[in-house]
């Protein structure tokens, strides 16, 4: 619901979940508290993916595929695009920045090791990776994560032109 309408009320969320809004308010005093909890749950999952993908330790191509394969279920489970929202909580925002920095460093590694071009505008590789993951996660939800990861990685590294290969 938040993915479709980030301004949705707690009462609407409760109604859609089939619970009384007081039940939600017992757990989350405000809508902002609910958003912070959602931010942190998605950050927990994202941090686990970054750790398990071994972005800086594993061979770069292996780490890329592993990252994509692991982040797809997280993107599907937590479809809210928190990139467009602020949590309003300093600790959560600091955590989010650390996660972003880790992924940025990995994309820099992809460039440094020659998997991505170095002549692209700053942020292009990261934005492309993010968009491909989002595309696979939300537009093609029937693709299993391993198959979707294959497509994302192949598209990121090789493009989709017929003459690329």
pLDDT digits (tens, 9 = 90+) for 121-140: 999 999 999 999 999 999 99
| CA atoms 122, 128, 133, 138: torsion sign | positive
Averaged pLDDT of the chain: 89
Residues 116, 29: Cα–Cα separation, whole Å:
46
CA distances from 92 to 73, 86, 98, 101 (A): 22, 9, 10, 14
> For the chain, which ranges sit under pLDDT 50?
none
Q: Which two tokens stand for residue 126?
A: 């990261």
pLDDT of res. 4? 66
pLDDT of res. 158? 94
pLDDT of res. 85? 65
CATH superfamily of 31-158: Tetracycline Repressor, domain 2 (1.10.357.10)
């Amino acid at each position: 619901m938040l993915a479709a309408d980030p301004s949705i009320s707690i009462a609407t969320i409760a109604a859609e979940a089939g619970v009384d809004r007081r039940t939600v308010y017992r757990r989350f005093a405000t809508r902002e508290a609910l958003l912070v909890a959602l931010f942190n749950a998605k950050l927990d999952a994202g941090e686990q993916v970054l750790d398990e993908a071994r972005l800086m330790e594993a061979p770069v191509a292996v780490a890329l595929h592993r990252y994509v394969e692991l982040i797809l279920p997280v993107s599907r489970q937590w479809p809210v695009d928190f990139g467009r929202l602020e949590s309003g909580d300093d600790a959560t925002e600091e955590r989010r920045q650390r996660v972003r920095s880790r992924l940025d460093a990995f994309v820099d590694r992809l460039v440094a090791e020659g998997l991505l071009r170095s002549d692209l505008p700053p942020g292009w590789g990261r934005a492309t990776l993010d968009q491909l993951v989002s595309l696979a996660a939300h537009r093609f939800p029937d693709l299993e994560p391993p198959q979707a990861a294959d497509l994302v990685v192949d598209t990121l590294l090789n493009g989709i032109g017929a003459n690329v290969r």
